[in-house]
């Protein structure tokens, strides 16, 4: 049983893919958290642009 445990602890196969999965998950959470602020900023920018164009040509 001790040999099986040592072999399990020493086995690093798949460790890199798990690390990349964790990094991708953290990045997805960061993007999902920042998304409302990004869309709000874009909406404000387009609204300002529309108001500027309407004022210039309207």
pLDDT in tens, 3-56: 887 887 777 777 788 888 999 999 999 999 999 888 988 999 999 999 999 988
Q: Tell whether the torsion through CA atoms of 34, 40, 44 and 46 is positive or negative.
A: positive
Supply 15's token pair. Answer: 């460790």
The predicted structure's pLDDT at residue 58: 65
SS3 28: helix
- Global pTM reads 0.52
Supply 7's token pair. Answer: 């072999």
What distance in Å separates the CA atoms of residue 16 and residue 42, rounded to the nearest whole number?
Answer: 37
The predicted structure's pLDDT at residue 6: 83
């Amino acid at each position: 049983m001790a040999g099986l445990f040592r072999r399990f602890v020493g086995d690093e196969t798949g460790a890199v893919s798990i690390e990349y999965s964790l990094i991708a998950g953290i990045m997805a959470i960061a993007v999902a958290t920042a998304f409302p602020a990004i869309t709000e900023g874009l909406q404000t920018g387009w609204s300002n642009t529309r108001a500027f164009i309407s004022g210039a040509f309207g």
